[in-house]
Amino acid sequence: MSSATQSSLLSLEQALALLLAQAEAAPILEQEWVALAAADTRVLAEPLLAPRDMPPWANSAMDGYALRYADWRGAALAVSQRIQAGSAPQPLQPGTCARIFTGAPMPAGADTVVMQENAELDPAGQVLFSGDLKPGQNVRPQGQECTQGEVVLPAGSRLGPIELGLAASLGYAAVPVKRQPRVAVLSTGDELVEPGQPLGPGQIYNSNRQVLISWLERLGCAVVDGGILPDDLSLTRAALHDLAEVDLILSTGGVSVGEADYLGQVLREDGELTLWKLAIKPGKPLTCGQYRGVPVMGLPGNPASTLVTFGLLARPYLLRRLGVQRVAPLAMQLPAGFSWSKPGQRREYLRARIEHGRVVPYANQSSGVLRSAAWAEGLAEVMEHSTLAEGDSLRFIPLSELLG
């Protein structure tokens, strides 16, 4: 049982370093073989090795004629065989060439391909080549892509269309992946109602649940939907009690200063709790801890705060638990299409777009406005203690980097 509150603000880097260290201390180790068709978004548990050279044999990169370069003296050559993709060629008869098509194996003895645009059939059926010929041209050598036994994808690779295509090209029908992390999503707040239900006085629809469920699925997690948790101590205790089997309990709401903090109270009693104050805006308060050994992360409830803290902190944490090394989003430096005259204590993540090559923030940056993020293409970073003039360079993190 322990509890602590940070007295000074934690920088994003400090918070991220702490979370990544926690993730590395609690790695997901179990693995399973999953068919390629079901392995999108999953993380490779073992390096994927090339079971054979790729391509397995030298082949033609062009439709044309295959020859031994040394046989060519500028005179026409007879065509001694025709090699389609998918066929097995005979060795090339010395002093002849072979009609060959893209992807067809090179016949033994041939080392060069002339594309058909540079070849002309004479009336006797022999081919004359024009243009420069370089030895080895238009041939894809055996093992050009990889050689047998080579690591083609390291463990910890995230699998998407390209990686799965690469695995398919090597003949894998299934791949060894980490099991999906089970993440429980809890939405706290008496005011929350699920869409489809009538809204009573003072109530709003629960949007964070939907954001997090869709997002977690994109990250390859298995979601346990904990539903809406009323602001009530015994219900909170009971809800947590039912979540013993998950890898992470992710809650939103109820971490604002001054609020009756039921989640925190249960963690203090039955686990561990640290209340973080982050030097970012939106997204200052964050609860971290564990409940009976299960890590718990409590994100602030305002929709834009949930988005920023999930994208910048929970996402890399989860990926690192799966053994993913590159968890930082790719970002770009772009000129600001706005100015910022009041230096802030906290780093701001503005929901923004790129217009004419410049970063333009959504007009209303209230953390309650999720529409700002739907409009936006990314998060524009305005550093703490700093001002910006139009045209100054700032960091822009595309939402597409965070969402996948």
Contact 15, 313 (CB under 8 A): yes
Among 254, 271, 295, 311, binds ligand AMP (CB under 6 A): 254
**Close Cβ partners of 242 (under 8 Å, ≥ 6 residues apart):** none
Tell me the C-alpha to C-alpha distance, in Å, between residue 320 and each of 27, 244, 356: 8, 21, 36
The partner residues of 66 in beta bridges, in order of sequence, read 98, 113
Could you say whether residue 220 binds ligand AMP (CB under 6 A)? no
The H-assigned helical ranges of 271-386 are 303-309, 315-321, 371-375
Question: Nearest CA to 179 among 37, 38, 327?
Answer: 38
Could you say whether residue 285 binds Mg ion (CB under 5 A)? no
Contact 4, 277 (CB under 8 A): no
Contact 352, 375 (CB under 8 A): no
State whether residue 339 is helix, strand or coil: coil
Contact 62, 133 (CB under 8 A): no
Contact 203, 192 (CB under 8 A): yes
Q: Token pair of 266, please?
A: 């249960």
Residue 310 CB, nearest distance to ligand AMP (Å)? 12
Residues 178-197 that bind Mg ion (CB under 5 A): 189
E strand residue ranges, 64-121: 64-67, 77-83, 96-100, 112-115, 119-121
Cβ-based nearer residue to Mg ion, 253 or 289: 253
E strand residue ranges, 139-243: 139-140, 151-153, 174-178, 182-188, 192-193, 204-205, 222-229
Could you say whether residue 254 binds Mg ion (CB under 5 A)? yes
Residue 249 CB, nearest distance to ligand AMP (Å)? 15
Cβ-based nearer residue to ligand AMP, 248 or 307: 307
Among 105, 107, 156, 253, binds Mg ion (CB under 5 A): 253
Could you say whether residue 207 binds ligand AMP (CB under 6 A)? yes
Residue 163 CB, nearest distance to Mg ion (Å)? 40
Fill in the per-residue mask, 263 to 302: x = in contact with ligand AMP (CB under 6 A), - = not in contact: -------------------------------------xxx
Contact 43, 177 (CB under 8 A): yes
Cβ-based nearer residue to ligand AMP, 93 or 207: 207
Cβ-based nearer residue to ligand AMP, 226 or 300: 300
Closest residue to ligand AMP: CB criterion:
301
Stretch of residues binding ligand AMP (CB under 6 A), selected from 100-108, 115-123, 255-263, 351-359:
255-263
Among 89, 156, 226, 253, binds ligand AMP (CB under 6 A): 253
Could you say whether residue 236 binds ligand AMP (CB under 6 A)? no
DSSP run (H or E) holding 266: helix 262-270
Sign of torsion over alpha carbons 376, 278, 323, 220: negative
The partner residues of 353 in beta bridges, in order of sequence, read 360
Cβ-based nearer residue to ligand AMP, 104 or 212: 212
Residue 236 CB, nearest distance to ligand AMP (Å)? 13
Compute the distance between CA of residue 73 and CA of residue 71 in angstroms, rounded to an integer: 6
Cβ-based nearer residue to ligand AMP, 114 or 212: 212
Stretch of residues binding ligand AMP (CB under 6 A), selected from 94-102, 193-201, 242-250, 252-260:
252-260
Could you say whether residue 204 binds ligand AMP (CB under 6 A)? yes
Residue 204 CB, nearest distance to ligand AMP (Å)? 6
Residue 404 CB, nearest distance to ligand AMP (Å)? 23
Q: How many residues bind Mg ion (CB under 5 A)?
A: 3
Determine the residue type at 102.
T
Summarize as ranges the residues that interact with ligand AMP (CB under 6 A).
187, 189, 191-192, 204, 206-209, 252-256, 259, 300-303, 368
